[in-house]
Each structure stands twice: as C-alpha cells, then as structure tokens.
Structure 1
Amino acid sequence: MGTPAARPGATTRRVYALGSLAAILFGYDNGIISAAILFIPHELPLTPLLKGTVVSATVVGAMVGAVGSGPAADRQGRQRVLLAAGVVFTAGALGAGLATSVTALVLFRFVIGLGIGIASVVVPLYLAEMAPAGARGAVTSLNQYMIIVGTALAAATGYGLAFVGSWRWMILIGVVPAVVLVVGLLAAPDTPRSLVRRGRPEQGRTLLVGLRGDQAAADRELAEITTLERQQRDAELGARMSAGWVRKLLLLGALLAVFQQITGINTIVYYAPSVLTGFGVSEVTALLFTFLNGLLNIATIAIVVRAKIVDRRGRKPVLLAGLVGMSASLFAVGLAALLLPPESPVLFGIAVAAFVVFTNTFSATWGPVLWVVLAEIFPLAIRGTAMALATLFNWLTDFFVSLTFPTFTALVGAGVVFLAYAAAGVIIFPIVWWAVPETKQRSLESLEQQFRGGGR
C-alpha cells in the first residue's frame, strides 16, 4: 500500500510543474523587454512608434498563437501543443537576441509572441483539467504564479545586465528555460479530459488514478467526463458555438479578457522603467525597483496559491477587490503626475508606491483569476477553441495598450493615461458584479450542466 500512496503525489507534482513551466517563459519573454528597450536604442535607433512596435510585436504574435492553439489543443491534445510552444520559444529567443536590424528584432519578437500566445491558452487549460474540483482555483493560479516568477527572473536579469547594457544577453537567456520545457514535455502526459475526447479513455483513467490517488474517485470522475463527451460527440462545432448559452459564455469570456488589460497592467509591465526614468531617476535605479517589486510579486502570488484564497473566497469577490486596489493606485500616480513637477522626489515615491500596490493587487486577483474563470466556464467540446477566442481579445487589448502607451504619453502625459485606466476599472466594477458566475468548489462537468440549463 505504501507505493500507491506515494505515487499520486509524484504524478501530481510532475504534471503541475511541467504544465506551468511554459508560463515562466511567458513571464520572462514578456517582461524582459521592459529592461531591454532601455538599451536597444543605443544600437538600433528607435522612434516612439518603433519602440511601441518592438514591444507590441510580441503581442501580435501572441494573438496568432492564441487563435491557432485552441483548436489545435482540442484536436491534438494539450501536451503536444505545449511542446510546440517550447520549440517556438527557443527559436524566437535565439533570433531576437542575435538580431542585427530593427526588422529582424520585430520579426523574432513576433515569433516569441507565438509561444506566449500558445502558453496563455493552453497552460491554464492544462492545469484546470488536471486539478481536482476543490483545488482547481489554486492549481490554475500556478499559471499566474509562474508568469510572475518569469517576470521576476526577467527583472533580475535586466538589473544584473544593466551595468553593461547587454540587451542581447537579456533576451538570449530565455533560451535556457525554453530548452528545459521541450525536454520536460517530451515525457509529459496529456490531460484526462483530452484523452477521453480523443478516444483514449483507458489512458485517461490511468492518469486520473495517478492524479487523485483513489481508484473509486478516478472512476467517478471518468464517468462524468465520458457521459458529457458522449452527449456532445455527434454535435457539429458550429452548432455548439451557436447555442445561446454558449454565446453568452463566449461574450463573458471575451469581456473579462478585455477587462484584465484595460485596467492598465501592461503599461507597467512593459513601461514602468521608462516611466520612472522620465521622473528623473537612472536606468539602473528604475530596473532595481522592477527587480525588487518582482520579488514582492512572487511572495504575493505564493500566498494566494498556498492559502487557496481563490477557492476559499470565490472568484467574483477576488475580482471585485482587485478592481478597487488597481484603480485606486493608478488614480494616485495619475493625479500626482499631473500636479507635481516631473523630477520631483515626491512624484517618484508616489509612483513607486502606486506601482507596488497595483502590480501586487493584480498578481493576487485579476492575474490568476481571469485564467481560472476562463478555464472553468466553457464546455468541454469547444473548451480549447473558446479559450483561444477569449484569449485573442486579451491580446488584442494588450496590443492596443502596448503600442499606444508611448505615443499617448508623449501627447498628453503619463498622468492623463494612468487616470484613464483608473476610470476603466471603475466602469468595469458593476459589470463584473452582475455578470460573473461563482464557480468555486464545482466540477467542470457540473458547471457545464448548470450553464446549459440557463443557470449562472
């Protein structure tokens, strides 16, 4: 009896670690540009528009990767698509780090974005389908935790290499975790639900026994999955997507994906060092703040995951609390930027405090919870495709934010831009209050039956 008891823990840890490793690359390759963009103009001249293009090229790639990865994950399985992401991450980091022109840099930043887009769809899907219902919020939150870890690693790398200004090595270091991801995923399992959907129920049952450590519980879960799959097997994709209850869920998912971005998170992820240097501090000081704040973000999301706050408090209350904290912090820095001189130490202090509050609030709320909700609300038959569509809207909004922030800031100032994003959070609050269903402590199959019957 001793061996079977140990086996589920080992299986569970392995699949969770491999499933979330791609999120580290998401965070690293997404975050490293905030440091690299300070030094790229020393070698490759950049106008404000070109600067926005270099940053947002990854976002365009992420849109394409997100759209393609959802249907591919439904057809080929979650594990194979994540493996492809690892290969793409490797090629993109190599090409961008060795680029000799702005055109080449933009092209390979686009390639990196393909990997980020795949990870943004498939990682939360993979984790949610591996997790038991009672811990699904915490397990799926590992996605955001690993993104934050990757972002912190990017901040540490950026700060460490700032003294020599080596933007190329900042990007090239991303090759290492990409190779680790490829090697690890070669032996990784697919999810039980994906295996059943693709006609491999026995493999799904074996994996469920390993994950749950209880044969009876695994059999019950497999029966739920199999029954639901049998009900949907003969339906066409178009019919499933056009069903009224599915359209409502697709609209909700798209809105939540947009809301996460128009709160302004990537104005800080991509441009916080640039904003702080505009407030009169050195590049090294700005990157030191980014590094230290990244460490604090790791601690914040670790507390959220370990305390299972998303599973205990519920999805909606956490989202609402996040909107309050994020809007208040952006309002503070926006107002200070309008009222205080640009190089005022007081302005720098307020900006640092506001950025800390904002990013840590996001890491505890909208960062993980959006992906938890998206991975829960869509029906199994189209879950990958629906996740891809919702994630596309997330990346479209991210593209708008990342491309326009330098130009808008040059035209009206950072203060006005931050106030606009703070106002967006206020507008979003009542929509989330009314529209978002509570999904905690429910199996994915029971949620699907509830939504199918018109419940919220």
Structure 2
Amino acid sequence: MAAPASKSRVTRRVYALGSLAAILFGYDNGIISAAILFIPHELPLTPLLKGAVVSSTVVGAMVGALVSGPAADRFGRQRALLAAGVVFAIGALGAGVAPTVAVLVLFRFVIGLGIGIASVVVPLYLAEMAPAGERGSVTSLNQYMIIVGTALAAATGYGLAFVASWRWMILIGAFPAVVLVLGLLAAPDTPRSLVRRGHPEQGRALLAGLRGNPAAADRELAEITELERQQRDARLGARMSAPWVRRLLLLGAMLAVFQQITGINTIVYYAPGVLTTFGVSEVTALLFTFLNGLLNILTIAVVVRAGVVDRWGRKPVLLAGLVGMSASLFAVGAAALVLPAESPVLFGIAVAAFVVFTNTFSATWGPVLWVVLAEIFPLAIRGAAMAVATLFNWLTDFFVSLTFPTFTALVGAGVVFIAYAAAGVIVFPIVWWCVPETKQRSLESLERAFRKGTRFRPEG
C-alpha cells in the first residue's frame, strides 16, 4: 500500500464517503412520505397497498441488515458500502419508472436492501476509523447525514409537489448513489477490518494517515492485533454464545427496539398525512416537513459541533431524549383527543410537538443508538452483532410503519401517539439500569471490560 496522505486528507475522504451513504439512507427512507401523497394519482392504492409501498422498504432493510454484517466481517466494510451504493442506484431507477404497484413495491424493497446495508455498515465504518476521544461525535455523523438526507427528501418533495411528480422524487436518489459507488472504488477499508482479514501493514499505514502520528498508530495496531490473536481460533457460534456476548446482544437488540417504539417513524413516514387530517393542504404539510428538516439539520449540527455525545456521555443523552420525545407525543395525543379534527389550535400543537419530537430524536436517540451499538460489540463479531441488533430495529420499524394507519383508523391518532409516549416512559428505567457509559474508552478497552463483566466508569 502506498504511503498515507496527510491526516486531514485521509480523514475528510473517509468521513465524506460514510456520510454520503448515510445521506442516501435518509433520502430514500424519507422521500416516501411525500411521494405517497401523489402515487395514487397515477397508480391506484388501497390502504393495504399503501402500507405495502411504505413497508416494503423496511422489509428490504431487514434483509439488507441481516446479510450485511457477516458480509462486512468477511469481505470488509468498504466492499459492503460499495454494494450498498450499487443497490441504491438500481432501486431508485427501478422504482422511479415502475409501471405498476407490484413493480414499485419490488424496487422499494431493493432500495430497502441498500438502506439496511448502510444502517449497519456506516456506523461501523465511522466508529472504526475514529480515534477514541472523537468516536461519539464522528459516529454521530451517521445520524446527522441521515437527517440531511431526510431534509433533502423533504425539500425535493415540497418542490415537486407543485407538479405532483412522485417519479422524479424517487429517481433523484440514483444520482448520489452513482457518486458513492465511484468514490468507494478508491476508498480504504477500516484498520480493524484490514487486520482481521490479514492485512496488518495496510492497517498500520491507514492508521498512520488517520491519526497523523506513527507512534500512536503502532500502539493502536498492537491493541487491535492482540485482541484479534486471542479470538482467531474461536468459531463464530462459540463467540456469539459466550454469556457476556449474549448479554451485549440482548442489550443491543433492546436499544434498537426502543428507538423505534418511541414513535419516530410515525412522524418520518406519516407526518404529512396526519397534518392533512388536521385541515391543511398537501403542499402546506410538505412545507412543514421541509422547514422542520432544515431545523433538524441545525439541531444535530450543534450536537456534533459541541461534541455533546462525547462530553455528556451516552446514557445521559439517551435519558434526556426519552423525556423530550414522550412529553411531545403526549401533548399532541392529548390535544387530538379533546380538540376538533380541523381545529387551528390542534394543527399548531401538532406542529410544535412534531418539531420538539423530531429535533429531540435527532439530538439523542437518532445518533446515540448507533454510537453505542458500534462500541459495545467485540471486534470478532462486530459486523454480525450489529446486523442482529439492526434487524430488530427494522423489525420494529416494519411493525410501526405497517400498523400506524390501521391503528389510527381504529382508535384515532390521539390514542396512538399517547401509546408511543407511554412506551418512552416504560423504557426510561430500563435504559437507566442497563446501559453502560462508554465515552472516552477505546474499543479494545471496552471489549476487555465487557468480557470481565466490569461495571466501569469512563476514562478521562
């Protein structure tokens, strides 16, 4: 491998490619909230088919998440992200020109495969590239760029709403996917993945470029190599079945489920539709989504810039997020139960609650879940374990996205939002008791602590 470029050049390239994959995740996941308002103008949709168009992406994400973790462990993080870029491009092109609902559902499933791969591999890629003291902020770039992608989807949806062009809403996602593929063809894998796959010298050269310090690179490489040596002879099944690993898998799966049962994707997928039931036009609802997306970008930019996740710690941020999200959903749920459906007051409360909820999520559970998942699993099974946790995240997302219209029709949006608020209240003590604080620790020191069953405090 050639001598590494300067630290800033290597770091910018690595973070930019991981960020672009996350932008595609956000765009392709978020654009359906606008497109679904106009698809029925051309392709007839029953309520069941409407749910299928939305949730088919989630099903694809489940499959993509499940296969991408082991693939990333075996073939490397860079190749897994390259596969995601190819899949994103194929899915966007196919869905954008779909002649029937069945074809649309099929290619939305394909898009979901790319989203699932990105949801597992981008946090891994960023976490394994970042130094310990910056890992929370760097890995938070994943959620920041997902929010950027979601905001771009909202802007595109609003702009194209005036011509009701749902096809171009979807097709636009193919262009950044091609850029991602071209960029990844020359991108490096992570140092830990290189060492694990038998390329220690390439790993050292990359670490020297990322850290800008050969001595620090040698120390980090020694830690990685020693852990890999200890685990080399263990089979994957044996690694996954170790009691301490099972506890971490359970914790990761629980956190992944908790992120979804707090109700985020009821807002991502259905906020424009909910707002139209409160007496506003489709264009007005999409304008709110667009403006809220811009505010989301500002919120998480402040969080990343201030290093909140690394300074405050993972657990305090998660607990604060539960308070803000539950309070905002309870407010809109209670208002929907006592106010007339087309009341301007109800619309105002709903807008304020959705703004508080989505911005709280963007600052807390959005980024911090993926930071924690990328930190707690041992190197030997990190990709596979991330895939398991992410699968639970997408399974819960599928349940939420498929059932929200039905539950809303049966009991009303007010009851549904209050139920999600109650879920946040239930989750609070579980997070308080079960989630370890991982800030300012190297991935290798975390692994040693978890293996020993140590309840530790962060270093620094």
Report the TM-score, using the length of structure 1 for normalisation.
Answer: 0.99
**What is the deviation of 1:21?**
1.1
- 1:311 paired to 2:310: yes
Q: Could you tell me which residue of structure 1 aligns to residue 458 of structure 2?
A: none
Question: Matches of 1:50 and 1:304 in 2, distance apart?
Answer: 38
Q: Could you tell me which residue of structure 2 aligns to residue 331 of structure 1?
A: 330
Question: Matches of 1:73 and 1:289 in 2, distance apart?
Answer: 38
Question: Matches of 2:4 and 2:125 in 1, distance apart?
Answer: 24
Q: Could you tell me which residue of structure 1 aligns to residue 151 of structure 2?
A: 152
Give 1:258-407 correspondences, 5 Å limit.
Answer: 258-407=257-406
Give 1:14-413 correspondences, 5 Å limit.
Answer: 14-413=13-412
Question: Matches of 1:172 and 1:231 in 2, distance apart?
Answer: 48
Question: Matches of 2:435 and 2:27 in 1, distance apart?
Answer: 30
Is the 2:4–2:206 Cα contact (8 Å) retained in structure 1? no
Question: Matches of 1:419 and 1:113 in 2, distance apart?
Answer: 29
**What is the deviation of 1:455?**
1.4
Amino acid at match of 1:206: A
**What is the deviation of 1:6?**
7.8
Q: Could you tell me which residue of structure 2 aligns to residue 446 of structure 1?
A: 445
Question: Matches of 2:454 and 2:335 in 1, distance apart?
Answer: 45
Give a deviation string over 1:202-232, Cα, whole Å, max 9, x none.
Answer: 0000000000000100000000000000000
Question: Matches of 2:291 and 2:157 in 1, distance apart?
Answer: 12
**What is the deviation of 1:103?**
0.4
**What is the deviation of 1:50?**
1.3
Question: Matches of 2:399 and 2:217 in 1, distance apart?
Answer: 44
Is the 1:49–1:407 Cα contact (8 Å) retained in structure 2? no
Question: Matches of 1:150 and 1:20 in 2, distance apart?
Answer: 10
Question: Matches of 2:195 and 2:112 in 1, distance apart?
Answer: 30
Q: Which consecutive residues of structure 2, in runs of 5 or more, have no partner in the other structure?
A: 456-460
Is the 2:326–2:425 Cα contact (8 Å) retained in structure 1? yes
Is the 1:49–1:406 Cα contact (8 Å) retained in structure 2? no
Give a deviation string over 1:164-210, Cα, whole Å, max 9, x none.
Answer: 00000000000111001001100000000000000000000000000
Is the 2:57–2:109 Cα contact (8 Å) retained in structure 1? yes
Question: Matches of 1:71 and 1:165 in 2, distance apart?
Answer: 41
Change (3 A) 1:84 1:133: same
3-state SS of the aligned residue for 1:13? helix
Is the 1:66–1:391 Cα contact (8 Å) retained in structure 2? yes
Report the TM-score, using the length of structure 2 for normalisation.
Answer: 0.98
3-state SS of the aligned residue for 2:83? helix
Q: Could you tell me which residue of structure 2 aligns to residue 455 of structure 1?
A: 454
Is the 2:147–2:293 Cα contact (8 Å) retained in structure 1? yes
Is the 2:21–2:118 Cα contact (8 Å) retained in structure 1? yes
Amino acid at match of 2:188: P
Amino acid at match of 1:270: Y
**What is the deviation of 1:56?**
0.4
Give a deviation string over 1:19-61, Cα, whole Å, max 9, x none.
Answer: 2211000000000000000001111111222111110000000
Give a deviation string over 1:256-291, Cα, whole Å, max 9, x none.
Answer: 000000000000000000000010000000000000
Q: Could you tell me which residue of structure 2 aligns to residue 431 of structure 1?
A: 430
Give a deviation string over 1:132-181, Cα, whole Å, max 9, x none.
Answer: 00000000000000000000000000000000000000000001110010
3-state SS of the aligned residue for 1:320? helix
Change (3 A) 1:6 1:111: closer
Give a deviation string over 1:380-424, Cα, whole Å, max 9, x none.
Answer: 000000000000000000000000111111111111110000000
Amino acid at match of 1:201: P
Question: Matches of 1:93 and 1:414 in 2, distance apart?
Answer: 31
Question: Matches of 1:455 and 1:40 in 2, distance apart?
Answer: 53
Question: Matches of 1:351 and 1:175 in 2, distance apart?
Answer: 33
Question: Matches of 1:19 and 1:349 in 2, distance apart?
Answer: 37
Amino acid at match of 2:346: L
Give a deviation string over 1:299-321, Cα, whole Å, max 9, x none.
Answer: 00101111000000000000000
Question: Matches of 2:102 and 2:408 in 1, distance apart?
Answer: 24
Q: Stretches of 4+ moved more than 4 A in 1?
A: none
Is the 1:96–1:108 Cα contact (8 Å) retained in structure 2? yes
Question: Matches of 2:5 and 2:252 in 1, distance apart?
Answer: 38
Question: Matches of 1:239 and 1:101 in 2, distance apart?
Answer: 47
Q: In angstroms, what is the RMSD of aligned CA positions?
A: 0.9
